[in-house]
A and B are shown apart, each in its own frame.
Chain A
Amino acid sequence: MFLSRPARIVLRLFSVAVIAVLYFPLLYVMRLSVATSHGFTWPPSGLTLEHWRSATEASGPRDALGNSLTIAFWATVVALVLGSLAAAALSRYRFFGRNVINLMLVLPLALPGIITGIAFSSGFARLGVDLSRATLVTAHATFCLVIVFNNVSARMRQLSSSLDEASADLGADQLQTFWYVRLPLLASSLLAGGLLAFALSFDEIIVTTFTAEGGFQTLPLWIFQNMFRDTSLPLVNVTATFVVIVMIVPVYVAQRLTDVASGGRT
């Protein structure tokens, strides 16, 4: 072995520590949501479900949740359609301008979110379009599209074109080949891309700040606006915990899907 045994043990300890640090803040907020102690004083103490109970009666987070889900849903729908079309075009054809399009598909994720946000915002202002749910969905769909594109095109690169040829040899036309051969093979990457796009939009706050109409609250915006009010902190803790749980589930499923599809046995 290339590393000595002590070196490997040190590496292992280091890695465990880093991963513990990655999860600690999330666990801490979860702990706060069921603590009787108030504020940020360490360590949190007591155990109660009272905050969770009163959270079910609070309308602020509930309305914000509804808004977040609506926006994320529509952004995901648009991103799924456009992202997979782009993946199909770029993974199967070589053509003039392909690299430019590839770069354009990296930009919404490579440029900071604030650029996407203020660009859309000034674009809408130039066109005289008032900010609304539609403008918010438009902006979200743009970066969600990239995630879908990445997932689907990674899968398409793995699919061999001999499958298409076999299907054509058996008399299927393009549409049938797409429907009966390609789509089933792509399904899990579409689902994974869609779930990640949904999570990305659900969590987004920077682009949202610039493209949502005044007073429209998504869940992250609600948390931000309430974390400075001492009396709202118990509710913020519960909402934050809720967000973590809601996001972890689809992301975990997406990870498993990608994992299984890429062999998973490596």
Chain B
Amino acid sequence: MGRGLDRDQGLSTSRRRRAARFVSSHRGIRLGGLLAGPLLWLVVAYIGALVALLVTSLFHNETTGIVTTIVTEPGLENYRTIIDTPVYRDVALRTVRAAATVTLIDLAIALPLAFFMAKVASPRSKRRLVIAVTMPLWAGYLVKGYAWRAMLNPESGLLREALGFSPGYGIWGTTITLAYLWLPYMVIPIYAGLDRLPDSLLEASTDLGGKAGRTIRSVVLPLLVPSIVAGSIFTFSLTLGDFYVNRIFGGTTQFIGNNIYSNFGVNLPLAAAFATVPILIMGGYLLAARASGALEEI
């Protein structure tokens, strides 16, 4: 440290110091300097891209002979196509239903698991458990999808051999696989919420005569709402946008994502219009989540 300060002696130092003092006394400049890069990136690249997506969804394809061109004249016909075509409506409903089912399955598994981690396990195994639950999240989305393809194999896969029954590669296979994939996203926020919950609250409830079930219903769950909402943002949103699990399973089940993907190469405006469906759903979800204070949990 001393060396660094020594090097600062000399003529250029006073100029640098003056500049440093100028910067430090002007909050706006400091803030602007820090924010310029990230803001430029997020606004120009990301928000710009989202705007381009919405704009593109208003265009439409026109085919003359064998040449297809995008006509940049705004209109709502893609949205009309989506609303008026029963297949597309079904796909959207199926995706939302799957997202809700995945969220409920994960919630049912995450609540007891997180409760064990936060309130029953010893402090040492607590930390190990957090790592044990988080690690699989990073261990290759595609690898896990592939493993489930192997395990769900309807003829001779693990589930068929061990349980005598396999949900196969249809909607139930997809739902189970997605619930498996996103489970840690639900466990971690709920664990964090429970970990913050003082044990004395549980004891107080017990002292007042509350049985375990009553305490969980009347004390624990209400306080966990923001954590549960935070976890559900991930499980819901990730399911809403997923289309690779369906592709890994051979493409018999179609989600919104599969429609976006299959139109992406041939009809970009229609694909873009499809993409606004999950945006609207998640936008509403996030607004509701903000009201419950869940965004602080992410």
Contact = CB atoms under 8 A, between A and B. Distances in A.
Interface of A: 2-4, 7-8, 11-12, 14-15, 18-19, 21-23, 25-26, 28-29, 32, 39-43, 78, 81-83, 85-86, 88-89, 93, 95, 101-116, 118-127, 138, 141-142, 145, 149-150, 172-176, 179-180, 196, 199-200, 203, 205-206, 209-210, 220, 223-224, 227, 236, 240-241, 243-244, 247-248, 251-252, 255, 259, 264, 266
Contact of B42 (A40, A105, A180, A255): A105
Interface stretch (B60-68, B76-84, B86-94, B112-120): B112-120
Given A125-B56, A223-B146, 12 more contacts: A19-B133, A22-B184, A25-B144, A104-B47, A110-B233, A138-B45, A173-B24, A224-B247, A240-B147, A244-B139, A248-B139, A266-B127
Contact of A3 (B46, B120, B158): B120
Interface of B: 1, 4-5, 8, 16-17, 20-21, 23-24, 27, 30-31, 34-35, 37-39, 41-43, 45-50, 52-53, 55-56, 109, 112-113, 115-117, 119-121, 123, 126-127, 129, 131-136, 138-144, 146-151, 153, 156-158, 160-162, 180, 183-184, 199, 202-203, 205-206, 212, 215, 233-234, 237-238, 240-244, 247-248, 257, 260-261, 264, 268, 271-272, 275, 278-279, 282, 286, 295, 298
Given A88-B34, A122-B53, A14 B240 contact: no
A14 B286 CA distance: 32
A108 B233 CA distance: 13
A29 B143 CA distance: 8
Nearest 4 Cβ contacts at the A-B interface = A112-B241, A25-B147, A123-B49, A86-B38
A200 B121 CA distance: 30
B158 A205 contact: no
